[in-house]
Amino acid sequence: MKIFPELNSFSIISINELDCAICDKEIGLDLLTYLREIDVNNELINSGGIIPIFDVEDGLYEVDVTIHTELSSDFNIHTSGLLGICGTGYLAAYNSKMLIENGKMFVIKIGPGYYKLKFSVDSENEVINVSLYPAKV
């Protein structure tokens, strides 16, 4: 599956946690506008709900995921089992089920918990490399 960097960026999303936060805060489906508010943006990023990847050149990108077994001492993201990667522009009408069904979100099924996440973008070969390390909490 290949995905497009809407607004020249991707967002790595903890799907269930973000869906719950949206319901709890009653913000509607325009998550992109909501995220433009600095305090809210920091809250969602610091809680490990969203990790943005900016300055991505246009193209259709493959996602290469590596899940490591060695522990990391810190974490970037918390998940109940599903992570997603999509073009950030799709957050303007965020609906995880529709994004998945329409092939706009790449889904990573992983054990629940806290993870250290590292990524790189290879624009020449149109590949996003994502590495996940379980984190000690």
pLDDT 10s digits, 2-23 = 999 999 999 899 898 888 877 7
Positions of the chain with pLDDT lower than 50, given as ranges: none
- The pLDDT of residue 47: 66
Give which of 34, 54, 48 is closest to 135, Cα–Cα: 48
User: How many domains would you assign to the chain?
Assistant: 1
- The pLDDT of residue 39: 60
What percent of the chain has pLDDT above 70? 88
Structural domain of residue 78, as residue ranges? 2-134
Specify whether the CB–CB gap between 106 and 99 falls below 8 A.
no
The enclosing domain of 56 has a CATH number of 2.60.34
Mean pLDDT of the chain: 85
Can you tell me the distance from the alpha carbon of 18 to that of 15, in angstroms, rounded to the nearest whole number?
A: 5
